[in-house]
Structure 1
Amino acid sequence: MRLRHRALKAIHDYMDELHFVQITTSVLTTNDCEGAGEIFRVQPDSDVLLKEMARPNIPTEHSYFDKKVFLSVSGQLHLEAMSHGLGNTYTLTPAFRAENSKSPLHLSEFYMFEAELAFMQDISSLTSFIEKMIKNVTLRIIESATDDLKFCQEKALGSAFELPWLKAAWITLTYDEALDILIANKEKFKTALKPNEGFSKEQELFLANHCGTPVFVVDWPSDQKPFYMKVVQTKPDRVHALDLLMPEVGELCGGSLRENDEMRLRSHPRLPQDLEWYLELRKFGGVPTGGFGLGFERYLQLLTGVKNIRDVIPFPRYPHSCQM
């Protein structure tokens, strides 16, 4: 927990030095930012209260807020709104995913660091920022929490270890290039390669190990990514999206350039309802932005070698378990 504290402080200090504005995004939201349906609904437990607050033409279960409300899966859309007025912003808040997974890399409640960068217009600038940030923050943690980091590594793997990716140059592959590597090695996988569904955890780890360094996979098929990602002009079926694949944990970051064309967003077949406010950000001319989210607990696993994500958070929540 001391190491967790130092990691949080290192992130906040780094972002503050770059003059990013921290935004405390809401945990309650009407949005499913990722569009995957992996959301927890929120409503009062009291039937009496719901009946008291009932209004015409509103379902009783929605009577508190007058609509469906969820626990947030991401603060990204709210960060975008703030960045249009404040410039570069970030948040580090809980996120919630209703996934039926007890894997050592998944939690129902976890912390996510998200940043939104104003005037971001090419994906290589975004990958460069992410690489520099992760390396800088990690060096700060090593300097401020040497003994705690060494202790955690020794408990997890028997001995302290170096982080070779700190000194290595990270590489970028397009989705198609990454897919070609996986197809050429498909006999090595336990799970079948399904190009239309993205990459499995096994395949993510293979790519990182095959390349011998962290890998940014960019230019993803648009049908595999959410509605808000900017289309690649030369490839209309691709979007300016990135996944950062790291050794031991696989995907650590996901991000993209954001679509700033209002009409293109309006015509997107997977545009969620009730997002008129989001479209309005582009209506009268907006700021081109790009951003990313980083799973904080996976980052701690990467630093410490801890295999189970439940061991790097004080009160883990996962399917069939919500103690205390």
Structure 2
Amino acid sequence: MFVTRTVAISTRNWYGRFYHTTISDVFKVKRPGDTIKIKGWVKSLRKQKDYAFFDVNDGTHIKRLQVVAKKDQTLKNLTSGASVIVSGNLAETPSGQLELNASAVSVVGECDVRDGYPFAPRKIYPPEYTRKYLHFRPRTKRFSSLLKIRDVAHLEIHNYLHSKDFIQVHTPILTSNDCEGAGEVFSAIPTNKDMLNNMIRPNVTVDQAYFGCETYLSVSGQMHLEAAAHGLSKVYSFGPTFRAENSRSRYHLSEFYMLEAEMAFINKLETLLNTIEMFIKCVSFKIFDKCAEEIAVCKETDHYISSHLIRDFKVLPYDEVVNILKKYETKFQKAFNEKDGLTKEHEIFLVAHCQSPVFIINFPKTMKPFYMKELTDDQTKVAAVDLLGPNVGEIIGGSLRENDYYKLKNSIPGNDARLDWYLDLRRFGSVPTAGFGMGFERFLQSIVGIANIKDTIPFPRWPHHCQM
């Protein structure tokens, strides 16, 4: 016999025997006179003759809740940075703000600010300083706000793509191909040398012993997505990506997150441009709508994408870009050379010059990877696109994919047999495809106005830095 029972679901969190109220719930649904229990961290503390006032935040809301406690309730070990549990009744201040009149205050974890804790209350620290303390950085108002923006952006990207019938595919982090062909890869080799020595076979190196071939951390899931698109039509992946670049610039990370999308039956670059523009605009508007307060806290520059979204994105062929940059070459620190391609300085200039995000299309074939489709009227160029945004330059790169078997075969560097499976996609049931990849952290830099990419990811990795 089955017995059914009804369980009441509460938005409040269960902790031990008693419910507690999140700070978010306090500001959304609670009223003066309500009895509540909150848990969080003390952000500031000030003591007067008979009372102590301290602000508590638990990470669920950008605002802090002020707590008023009688001095005999305030423990000696209550300091800024300590974690606390507070019970009491909500009241309304003369200015109309909610505050908590404490009936009980309990310190869960002490925080001795004199013993090495790096953040003082009511003080704002520059990103360069907080970056030294990655394990404490989520406790700061600016970075906790960034993490909320990042979470909303991640969710809205998934929501948008699902609404357009894209299917998420988990592409591998371990791969045997260097998709971009630039050699900027990390090798994946087990550290157990005894095991590796036992696995070595004739004509197999140590690097090949475990998997039977050289294996890397993924620089892109694009090729795997192409395989999936040949059966599912519209697919995407969203996960960590690794580039072994010796760069410490404000635009580069050794590990970052990449959104990549592939679509079958696409044979016009215009279709790809429209897809990218609608994606950027719709997702960005959602983020601005849901995270206005957090963005106001985080933004470091007014050069970000908000004011650009009401305009159509500009489309410039590469040849036209060359003409523009030559015309204004005196504005650049280093002279523009069209054979070397665009620097960040050039990219950011073009966005400012056009006063909108810019699609650059039809690049010289020599500048782009082997898999991009030749233009039908100019075999020296490929149907490629880079989307440039304010503050950072390139946000998205994409192209039509070469679907002619013989052209693709002849363009594979070294005629690499490891890509025979990739050629098979053009032999059996081939269709024209197109796709794009977006660096998630670059996107956040551009929509929020954050100067350094290291301040858009919880635990950044770059050359000589892999803390924690």
Greater relative contact order: 1 or 2 (C-alpha under 8 angstroms, separation 6 or more)?
A: 1
Residue in 1 aligned with 2:397? Answer: 254
Q: CA-to-partner distance for each residue in 1:279-301, whole Å, 9 max, x for gaps?
A: 00011231211000011001111
Partner secondary structure for residue 197 of structure 1: coil
Alignment partner of 1:313 is 2:460: no
What is the deviation of 1:192? 2.5
What is the deviation of 1:151? 2.0
Residue in 2 aligned with 1:223? Answer: 366
Q: Which of the pair has more CA radius of gyration? A: 2
Structure 2 length-normalised TM: 0.67
Partner secondary structure for residue 319 of structure 1: coil
Structure 1 length-normalised TM: 0.96
Instruction: Decide which of 210, 226, 231 is 1:64's aligned counterpart.
Output: 210
Distance 1:101 1:73 in 2: 16
What is the deviation of 1:161? 7.9
Counterpart residue identity of residue 286, structure 1: S
Distance 1:171 1:271 in 2: 37
Partner secondary structure for residue 218 of structure 1: strand
1:271–1:241 distance in 2 versus 1, CA, 3 Å: farther
> Which stretch of structure 1 is more off in the superposition, 144-153 or 296-305?
144-153
Residue in 2 aligned with 1:284? Answer: 428
Alignment partner of 1:191 is 2:337: no
Q: Where in structure 2 are there 5+ consecutive unaligned residues?
A: 1-146
Distance 1:140 1:285 in 2: 38
Residue in 2 aligned with 1:171? Answer: 314
1:115–1:260 distance in 2 versus 1, CA, 3 Å: same
Distance 1:15 1:162 in 2: 21
Tell me, yes or no, if the aligned pair for 2:305 and 2:447 is still in contact at 8 Å. no
Distance 1:241 1:252 in 2: 14
Distance 1:179 1:45 in 2: 48
Residue in 2 aligned with 1:213? Answer: 356
Residue in 2 aligned with 1:293? Answer: 437
Instruction: Decide which of 201, 220, 235 is 2:344's aligned counterpart.
Output: 201
The runs of 4+ residues in structure 1 deviating greater than 4 Å are 159-162
Alignment partner of 1:118 is 2:261: no
Percent identical among aligned pairs is: 46
What is the deviation of 1:33? 0.5
Higher helix share: 1
Alignment partner of 1:149 is 2:292: no
Distance 1:285 1:261 in 2: 12
Partner secondary structure for residue 240 of structure 1: strand
Instruction: Decide which of 83, 104, 111 is 2:250's aligned counterpart.
Output: 104
Higher strand share: 2
Q: CA-to-partner distance for each residue in 1:251-282, whole Å, 9 max, x for gaps?
A: 01000000000011111163661100000001
Provide the aligned C-alpha RMSD in A: 1.5
Q: Report the number of matched residues.
A: 321
Tell me, yes or no, if the aligned pair for 2:305 and 2:448 is still in contact at 8 Å. no
Distance 1:272 1:194 in 2: 31
What is the deviation of 1:246? 1.0
Tell me, yes or no, if the aligned pair for 1:92 and 1:113 is still in contact at 8 Å. yes
Distance 1:265 1:309 in 2: 35
1:160–1:58 distance in 2 versus 1, CA, 3 Å: closer
What is the deviation of 1:209? 0.9
Residue in 2 aligned with 1:18? Answer: 164
Residue in 2 aligned with 1:91? Answer: 237
